Structure 1
């Protein structure tokens, strides 16, 4: 009987037995059950459906509120993997867990191999572009991997994989701590919420769980790390809008990389081609073309259209919160040739630089690119995790999650991030130095370790120039601290001011000579390794600012101030000479460099006004400033639509020179009254320790023979300083008869505004 019942197929109870709630008893060979035979009624049996199986968990095992038997499909697989990983961490794994983890690792390795194959095929295409000098474009139409928007899921998975094991104290701020906490993968919550003490699910509770499921992704997305937000689209693309054609875009990009890259560092010409730049940022694409159009005589209307579109895109970036490496570069590209505002301090230079710095820090451009596995091995124990970023995470953050960091293309894309931060550091320090503003971009580990960064097989030709200025601006703080310490230490009663001046001069000369020795061979030209005019102006202005800091320091002895006024005058003359001699290479001179040249002119004009009445120094300086003003005016009006800031500064220099010549004639009579001559503080470069006690120098005996370069003059009674060498300029400044007036000893830095010079060079912001 039991065998026959066990072999009988399972069938559902008939409708008659169901209504009577009795067992439906039937034989395999009968079409009706016993009840239906007795009632002589039709026996209707529906299709059989197996019910829920009983659980297979052993007695005593904890039963989760939402166990695995109620899951199916992908949810069930994910749950099994999650539970297996949890048990593996606690050492309670079993054979099923090992099998699940092994299957997961096999899937991941297969996916990684597929990504590597895709990246390798793309690398082969990209390498052919890099190796060909005629076509360095890495973003052709079939290279969809670079033009696609970033996959947020790829970035989030990589970001979680790299940061899930980081200590909490590595978080730099509370927002980063929240973002890191949001990456914790919690197990799914029960759907029904059943428990022995809770009621069963109802319609209201189902809706509540559905709303909670919708809210969790939104909350998790809110607290994740920063994501890119590209400023691209047909409504803002300059080519789609009809502002330029594709042929014009190619020509403008080639002009920028060939003629403007030496003054606006930061862009790799092999990466930033028109097609690649369009796919990343309309702001950068338009900015590059607008900058090129400024210097093309026939591009008047085109320049106006692109410049107006640039302003629109800049405000759109702020309003829409766009963020990318290319937007940082776009802000920097606009800074050098920005149109003047209604006032000398009314342009948007500082605003653009600060916006670029804000976005750059948000994108972690200031962090070292070091694999977290390498960092965790202990080989880089001196580096904090908060100062580092995994290269794979950086690429995924930029939208290149499919590119391998070790590939040729990956290395170039990572290097572009580092170059962007270094260029921003140099630009911001130069702007602050020219305008007397406090620094905002910090000296990070990238800047501290950048001395050999330009020595790479994939380096750009302009990387050496960029790093040379980064090193100079980085190490300048140490020099100023040394000068400050020497001045502060000279407050003793028996301190010899001449010795202090000699110590300070030795420190300054050693600093700049060391820099010249290191970088003159790398970026210099000719047998004498002459620096390019643009770099020479930046370096000499930095030296002039250092001398000005010494002059203005409140604890500097009088002998120190007197000596460095002569040294400062020499640096100011050298800045103007470099601008005059390098006019042909300074057609794209940036606005900040224009300010540096103009400040050097005002510095020299003010100091030369205190020379003795019989000296040719003052008229020679005025002659040099006239030449400098002409250079600035010609550069600022190279094209009729250039509207360069240098034109205004050139006119301004002519105005103050005329004013100085008028007032100088009246003051020269007062300066010739009998009185003791100003004590000389020593020759330029060789300060005398007994300068204060030396007797006045009088012009006695036969007149001294003038050097041969004095005979060729632009105007009678003046020296043509623009054609002299450094040694000749030093000889002129140290000649007897070129002493400063006694009233010069009381000159302070505030007197530099004597000729209405803007009060930007306020070195008190730098600790002086």
Structure 2
């Protein structure tokens, strides 16, 4: 054994064993050592030289060294060292003293510059041509399965890192508002290759780049570098959660459910582009979104009861999985928003997960920078958009890379649609969150970003969706409402002078409100209106009129508003409340998929009108007419809430309870009218504004979701004889009725307080103190 070891020729350890600092065990007849065989790596062994290398002296011997020039090459590192080498090579080339190393460095630099110019000038690669094939034409898109595979190719995380680093070569701190993003930027700079002089025209791939970084930086912790990187997508896909793979639905059923959603439900749930979100594409991006779309469609199909139950249960499971697994994507934001409109009621009116879903969607959306303006960084660097801060902008190439589409050119047709889907998602989230907050009395959480400020013409695009106009109109209304509230508040606060005319202040406030809504209607009525009169769709009309009603309610309740202002706007507020209910009754056929937030808005309008009508004089027919209108509204809410046996709509509960409190108000009103000609408003409120706890014995059970037992129209007409049919009147006719001499309010009316409305403990009415009042 010893003889064999002595006869064995000496050979240096391979590079792998040297790096691991272990003994290199190999056989003379083998080309690889045991370690390299295990790792299946190339075994490179340099030539072994016995003894010390030339120029190395024993320890302790003085080593003569030439003096170092100031700030020489050996004291430079990284990028500074590479730039110094190139500068010296160029200087020597000018004087004719260059050597072979200088020629090599200059040649590599020229090749690198030419390759960069060629990459920028090339309009499309084979990947881009395949990506663009998703749409055969702007009018007739065709997303095939092969194209979806190309779309679903998520590039390596280093692709996004290198792209992000390339876009930020000017080292501008455009994410100064985000400390975590700054840390990620710093990590990207540290991971950049050091030896610039080693560049060649053939750039290594991401995998080779990682190996080179680890080889040159063995002291850096990979886990730490992975932690301080930019945001990464985390898709919720897999055979264990895919609804089609699990057998919950077939591919044919999925196609049918998607078509139903885009054709029948898109007008109440904005944010999805039907030309992009096909079943195959959505399935490859998010199981949560795919299941949510199909569950929403099955909810309105009479023969899909069992399918709806399976999909709804799986959808809730996926929602909790998204939180536990920290999944992030634009599709997950859309999935949370798709679930909000038709969420099942809980045991209590505040038990649903609407607010939680909206907040989760907003959190993920901000993490993915959906709130930023998509502008190329070279445009920002040129100074043409000086009004935009760098922190408010995001390069389109970076956005596509973040979404997993780094191989698609941002100027292509497909790239433009993918970028527009990000903007649509953020605008839809803004509209949904503002509407939810306005309906439920919650403070706003989604900010008014630059995308929202500049969205007035966003719907005017060659690749716009038909519902983009409706979405933009509501975004503009919600956005500009803050300025209107500030104007009204300033007028009320400025009326505290002793000699201030309350009537003049009331007219000024009325003029500001009317001018605001007339301007909006002039701008958007023609764009999204239908028919010769360009009437707004029922869903949009309810949202707009409820916004007007909330504004009037804030004026009535504002603490500094003069008495004349409060009395003046009681008629305007009642007119808006009647208009909301009339829109529900007349547009029932288009409101079969009425969202939960809209149901709460309608219920608020009904209770607002019911409370104000309590102050009408005893001889007026206004209160019975309002009660009759609320009865009709309750019938519609019950019918649309039980459109299918498995619908389980929230509007059914609200309709039943509206009917119940109207009957109680009528009973209390009749008793008081016999006792006194002018009813005491306090007694009226105590009789008509009951709470669930005080009326549980006579109210129908809230969990009973059977078909509503609506009364025939003849019985409803007999219930309130001699009443006015407000549901069939126009706006002018309603205003004329409310202003008739016989319909004046009781002299004791001193303004509607939110204490009156808060008697409805089953609803959280808007507290306009939190909204600016």
Q: TM-score, normalised to structure 1's length?
A: 0.80
Moved more, 36-45 or 432-441: 36-45
Tell me by how many angstroms 1:759 deviates: 2.9
CA displacement 1:25-61 (0-9 Å, x = unmatched): 9999999999999999999999998999989999999
Instruction: Determine the C-alpha separation between the residues in 1 that align with 2:715 and 2:536.
Output: 26
Q: Taking structure 1 as reference, are residues 204 and 99 closer, same or farther at Cα in structure 2, changes over 3 Å only? A: closer
Moved more, 210-219 or 686-695: 686-695
Tell me by how many angstroms 1:717 deviates: 1.1
Tell me by how many angstroms 1:707 deviates: 25
Contact kept? 1:552, 1:749, Cα under 8 Å: yes
Can you give the 5+ residue segments of structure 2 that lack an aligned partner in the other structure? 65-75
Tell me by how many angstroms 1:217 deviates: 2.8
Aligned residue in 1 for 2:231: 226
SS in 1 for 2:663: helix
CA displacement 1:735-756 (0-9 Å, x = unmatched): 0110111222253121123454
Tell me by how many angstroms 1:315 deviates: 0.4
Tell me by how many angstroms 1:268 deviates: 0.4
Instruction: Determine the C-alpha separation between the residues in 1 that align with 2:41 and 2:579.
Output: 120
SS in 1 for 2:471: helix
Tell me by how many angstroms 1:764 deviates: 1.1
Contact kept? 2:132, 2:412, Cα under 8 Å: no
Tell me by how many angstroms 1:683 deviates: 28
User: What value does the CA root-mean-square deviation take over the aligned residues?
Assistant: 12.9
Q: 1:686 aligns with which of 691, 698, 706?
A: 691
Moved more, 144-153 or 405-414: 144-153
Aligned residue in 2 for 1:372: 377
- What is the total number of aligned residue pairs between the two structures? 762
Contact kept? 2:148, 2:280, Cα under 8 Å: no
Q: 2:180 aligns with which of 175, 178, 188?
A: 175
CA displacement 1:687-740 (0-9 Å, x = unmatched): 999999999999999999999999999952100000000000000000011011
Instruction: Determine the C-alpha separation between the residues in 2 that align with 1:227 and 1:537.
Output: 40
Contact kept? 1:576, 1:597, Cα under 8 Å: yes
Can you give the 5+ residue segments of structure 1 that lack an aligned partner in the other structure? 65-70
Contact kept? 1:679, 1:692, Cα under 8 Å: no
Tell me by how many angstroms 1:304 deviates: 0.5
Tell me by how many angstroms 1:176 deviates: 2.3
Instruction: Determine the C-alpha separation between the residues in 2 that align with 1:373 and 1:610.
Output: 64
Q: Are residues 1:453 and 2:427 paired?
A: no
CA displacement 1:559-595 (0-9 Å, x = unmatched): 1011111100000000000000000000111100010
Contact kept? 2:431, 2:478, Cα under 8 Å: yes
Aligned residue in 2 for 1:47: 47
CA displacement 1:572-626 (0-9 Å, x = unmatched): 0000000000000001111000100010000001101110111110010000000
Q: Are residues 1:559 and 2:564 paired?
A: yes
Tell me by how many angstroms 1:100 deviates: 4.0
Q: Taking structure 1 as reference, are residues 743 and 97 closer, same or farther at Cα in structure 2, changes over 3 Å only? A: farther
Q: 1:132 aligns with which of 115, 132, 137?
A: 137
Contact kept? 2:484, 2:512, Cα under 8 Å: yes
CA displacement 1:306-326 (0-9 Å, x = unmatched): 000000100000000000000
Instruction: Determine the C-alpha separation between the residues in 1 that align with 2:754 and 2:280.
Output: 51
Contact kept? 1:192, 1:200, Cα under 8 Å: no
1:28-107 → structure 2 map (5 Å cutoff): 100=105, 103=108, 106=111
Aligned residue in 2 for 1:67: none
Aligned residue in 2 for 1:386: 391
CA displacement 1:527-572 (0-9 Å, x = unmatched): 1110000000000000000001101110000010111111000000
Q: Taking structure 1 as reference, are residues 641 and 115 closer, same or farther at Cα in structure 2, changes over 3 Å only? A: farther
Tell me by how many angstroms 1:167 deviates: 3.5
Q: Are residues 1:750 and 2:755 paired?
A: yes
Tell me by how many angstroms 1:22 deviates: 34
Q: Taking structure 1 as reference, are residues 599 and 92 closer, same or farther at Cα in structure 2, changes over 3 Å only? A: farther
Moved more, 442-451 or 714-723: 714-723
Contact kept? 1:753, 1:759, Cα under 8 Å: yes
Moved more, 11-20 or 363-372: 11-20
1:369-768 → structure 2 map (5 Å cutoff): 369-669=374-674, 671-672=676-677, 715-756=720-761, 758-768=763-773
Moved more, 671-680 or 449-458: 671-680
CA displacement 1:276-327 (0-9 Å, x = unmatched): 1011100000000000000011111110110000001000000000000000
Tell me by how many angstroms 1:163 deviates: 2.6
Q: Taking structure 1 as reference, are residues 523 and 10 closer, same or farther at Cα in structure 2, changes over 3 Å only? A: closer
1:118-267 → structure 2 map (5 Å cutoff): 119=124, 130-131=135-136, 136-168=141-173, 170-185=175-190, 213=218, 215-267=220-272
Tell me by how many angstroms 1:177 deviates: 2.2
Q: TM-score, normalised to structure 2's length?
A: 0.80
